[in-house]
Amino acid sequence: MRLLILGTGKMANQHATRFAAIPGVHLVGGVDTDSERLSAFCAAHKIEHGFSTTDEALAWGEFDAVTNVTPDAAHYATSLACIAAGKHVLCEKPLATNYAEATEMADAAERAGVVAMVNLSYRNVAEIHAAREMVLSGRIGEVKHIEASYLQSWLVSKAWGDWRTGQQWLWRLSKGHGSNGTLGDIGIHILDFASYGAGTDIETVTSRLKTFHKADGDRIGDYTLDANDSFIMTAGFANGAVGVIHATRWATGHLNDLRVRIYGDKGGIEVQHDLKSSKLRVCLDEDAETATWRDMEATPVASNYERFVNAVRFNLPTEPSFRHAAGLQRILDLAAASDETAPAFSRV
C-alpha cells in the first residue's frame, strides 16, 4: 500500500513510524504548507516526494491511501478532496469541527466506497475491548451507571513542553485557530472510550464548559486564548444508563490519564489507561457482595494503523468509521449548545 501523509506536524511522526513498521506499507509522499517542516519530515522518514498542497499531491496521484494529520479545521476540505479522488482515508480526530461537516464527510466516503476511518487512538487499548466484550456478554448484567474522565496537566506542567511558547499547544487554546478546546480535542476520546467500553451509544447530554484566565489579555501573540479548558457532562445512554463524563487540562499530577467505570446490576468494570500502562479491574459474581476488585488480563488487539491497512488491502469495512465519528461530533455539538443555553456560573 502506497501512503501519503497529509500534514507533517508532531503527530505525523507517530503515523509515519507506525505505518512504516507494517510490512508492505510504503510512505511515498508528504504534504505541508511549511516547506522547512515538510523537508525535515520527509528526510527523517525517507519519503521521496513532498508537496505544498493537497491539490498538488492529488494531481501527482501515485498513492492508494492518505493519513490525514492536519489541524482539526482542515480535516473537512482535505479529506473530501482525497475521497473525491478515490483515495482511502485515515483521519485524525475529531473528524470535523461540527456535525454537519462530519456527516457530509461520512456520506461522501460511503458513496465513494472507500475505507474511511478515524484515528480514535484509545481503540488501541486492549482493556477497553475486553471491557466491552464483558458488558455485551452480560457479565455485569444491565448497565445502570457510567463514570468517565480524561485528565491532562499540560497547562500546569512543562512535562510536554511550555504551552506558552509552543505553537502545537497554543492553537489548541484558540477558537480562531480552529480549536474546539478540551471538548473537541480530548472530549471526543473520552466519549468514545466510555461508550465503546460500555457497548452503548450516548443519546443525550447536558454540559458545562469553562475557560480559565491564562495570560494578560487572554492572548499570546496571534492566539486568543478563548477555547474551553475543562468540561463536565451528564449523559443519557441508549441502553438506559446514565453517566457523568469530565475532562480537563488542569489536572495536576495526571499527564494523560483516561478512566471509565461501568456499573451493572451484577458487577462492575474499571479501565485505567495512562502513558505507562493500562489496567482492567473487575468486581463480579460473589465479589460483588464484598466489594472485592480483581485485576484481569486482556488479549492484545490490532492497532488502528494495522486495521486501516487490512481494510484497504481486503476492501473491508472497519471501525471507528467516519459515520461513527460523525455521531460523536453530534454529541460534542449538543454539549456546546447545552453550555450556551445554561445560566452563568454563580457564587453562593
Identify whether residues 161 and 173 lie together within a single domain: yes
| Per-residue pLDDT tens digits of the chain, which is 348 residues long | 999 999 999 899 999 999 999 999 999 999 999 999 999 999 999 999 999 999 999 999 999 999 999 988 899 999 999 999 999 999 999 999 999 999 999 999 999 999 999 999 999 999 999 999 999 999 999 999 999 999 999 999 999 899 999 888 998 999 998 889 999 999 999 999 999 999 999 999 999 999 999 999 999 999 999 999 999 999 999 999 999 999 999 999 999 999 999 999 999 999 999 999 999 999 999 999 999 999 999 999 999 999 999 999 998 989 999 999 999 999 999 999 999 987 766 555
> Residue 336: inside a domain, yes or no?
yes
> Residue 325: inside a domain, yes or no?
no
Identify whether residues 34 and 150 lie together within a single domain: no
> Residue 17: inside a domain, yes or no?
yes
Adjacent-strand bridge partners of 278: 273
Query: Burial code of 319-333, b = ≥16 C-beta within 10 A, e = fewer?
Result: ebbbbbbbbbbbbbb
Q: What are the distances in angstroms from CA 205 to CA 19, 72, 300, 338?
A: 36, 23, 32, 8
| Distance between start and end Cα atoms, the chain | 61
| Residue 97 Cα to chain centre, angstroms | 13
Q: How many domains does the chain have?
A: 2
- Give me 182's grid cell: 478540551
CATH number at residue 30: 3.40.50.720
Identify whether residues 140 and 197 lie together within a single domain: yes
CATH number at residue 142: 3.30.360.10
Identify whether residues 65 and 159 lie together within a single domain: no
> Residue 347: inside a domain, yes or no?
no
Identify whether residues 154 and 292 lie together within a single domain: yes
Helices 75-84 & 99-112 angle (0-180, nearest 10): 10
Identify whether residues 296 and 312 lie together within a single domain: no
Nearest to 228 by CA among 244, 245, 207: 207
Domain of 162 in residue numbering reads as 123-301+332-341
